[in-house]
């Protein structure tokens, strides 16, 4: 009985660990995409200095 409880707790712990890692990986990917999107928009919308005629 105790062995079954230990095995169940271990399975639940591993599942929780996997879910945590998947969530962290998803969050990291979201932050990476957001960073590149902001950098792209920054370059796109930044006012450019006027070119001189000289």
Residue 54 domain-assigned (yes or no): no
SS3 48: coil
Radius of gyration of the chain (CA): 25
pLDDT at 49: 80
Residue 34 domain-assigned (yes or no): yes
pLDDT at residue 53 is higher than 80: no
As for how many domains the chain has, the answer is 1
Taking the model in full, what pTM does it have?
0.62
Residue 52 domain-assigned (yes or no): no
pLDDT at residue 10 is higher than 70: yes
Residue 40 domain-assigned (yes or no): yes
Residue 13 domain-assigned (yes or no): yes
| pLDDT tens digits, one per residue of 11-47 | 999 999 999 999 999 999 999 999 999 999 999 999 8
Range of the structural domain that residue 5 is part of: 1-45
Count of positions (residues) in the chain: 54
Residue 8 domain-assigned (yes or no): yes
How far is the C-alpha of 35 from the C-alpha of 2, rounded, in Å?
49
């Amino acid at each position: 009985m105790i062995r079954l409880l230990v095995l169940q707790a271990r399975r639940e712990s591993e599942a929780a660990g996997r879910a945590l890692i998947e969530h962290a990986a998803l969050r990291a990917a979201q932050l990476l995409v957001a960073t590149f999107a902001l950098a792209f928009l920054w370059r796109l919308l930044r006012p450019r200095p006027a070119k001189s005629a000289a």
